[in-house]
Amino acid sequence: MLLNKGSKIDVNKLNIWFGSKHVIRDLDLKIQLNAVTAIMGPSGCGKSTLLRSFNRMNDVIKSSKTTGEVFINNKNIYDSNTNVYDLRRQIGMVFQRPNPLPKSIYENVVFGPKIHKMAKGKNLDKIVKQSLKASAIWDEVHDRLNDSAFDLSGGQQQRLCIARALAVDPEVILMDEPCSALDPAATAKIEQLIRTLSTDYTVVIVTHNMQQASRVSDYTVFLYLGEVIEEGDTKTIFENPKHELTEQYITGEFG
């Protein structure tokens, strides 16, 4: 049985529309502190939309409308006085495909700390080393920090993007299918990294890969047509699902 450390994110009656399309429907959910939570479900069920609600990335889409509450550290991030700029420093994001900046490895990592005026000079050097070590890529790039990030392999670029997210000292890391563009060897490294990161961060990962969800997550949420069908510890969800839809999805009857 997993030790419940308490929730980091509390979602209450969340609804999200894009135009007339109702994507997330009256959703309640708790994301546990310092654990890996996987959100899984068939294509188009609202997984990425839900993930992006945690740092208000949906706001950049003009047709989007959100109602309900998302509490992080007991503060509703949808309150009108929320500083979204600070929120997105607190909630790091890693996307489906590696998206390094057209800069050196070093400049990719310090980009966020510079914007947020977190450090300068040798303190930036320290952040670079810490972030690259935490993302398990320091040993591979420590002697080539001035090289272009585009010189790295796909898997290395994704770990660099994780380092870039870590550099601004977030509390939560969101990952939207972070391995979908990677080969099996690179995927294994990212999965191992995800497990390590959960010691210090709350990690939420969207994945279309059920095997990956079962390997890396402590908790699993099964989403279908914008609603949470079932949630719980991963072992129980995969071995003894309570809902018929969950069992059908896991056994491959639809997806």
Q: What is the mean pLDDT of residues 175-189?
A: 93
Is 191 in contact with 159 (CB distance < 8 Å)?
no
The per-residue pLDDT for 238 is 96
pLDDT tens profile 116-164: 888 888 899 999 999 999 999 999 999 999 999 999 999 999 999 999 9
Greatest C-alpha distance within the chain: 57
Show the tokens assigned to 179.
Answer: 């391995």
3-state secondary structure of 124: helix
Instruction: Give the confidence band of 86 by pLDDT, cuts at 50, 70, 90.
Output: very high
115 in a structural domain? yes
1 in a structural domain? no
203 in a structural domain? yes
The per-residue pLDDT for 4 is 59
Phi and psi for 166 in degrees, rounded to 5?
A: -70, -25
Q: Which domain holds residue 76?
A: 7-250
Phi and psi for 221 in degrees, rounded to 5?
A: -115, 125
Q: Give the whole-angstrom CA distance, residue 202 versus residue 119.
A: 24
136 in a structural domain? yes
Q: What is the mean pLDDT of residues 104-114?
A: 96
Q: What's the Rg (C-alpha) of the chain?
A: 18
The per-residue pLDDT for 181 is 87
Q: What is the mean pLDDT of the chain?
A: 94
Show the tokens assigned to 182.
Answer: 């990677």
The per-residue pLDDT for 164 is 97
Q: What is the mean pLDDT of residues 29-34?
A: 96
86 in a structural domain? yes
The per-residue pLDDT for 2 is 52
Q: What is the mean pLDDT of residues 166-180?
A: 95
Q: State yes or no: pLDDT of 58 exceeds 90.
A: yes
Q: Tell me how many domains the chain contains.
A: 1
CATH number for position 227? 3.40.50.300
Q: State yes or no: pLDDT of 76 exceeds 80.
A: yes
Using a pLDDT cut of 70, give the percent of the chain over it: 98
91 in a structural domain? yes
2 in a structural domain? no
The per-residue pLDDT for 1 is 41
How many CB atoms within 10 Å of residue 134? 19
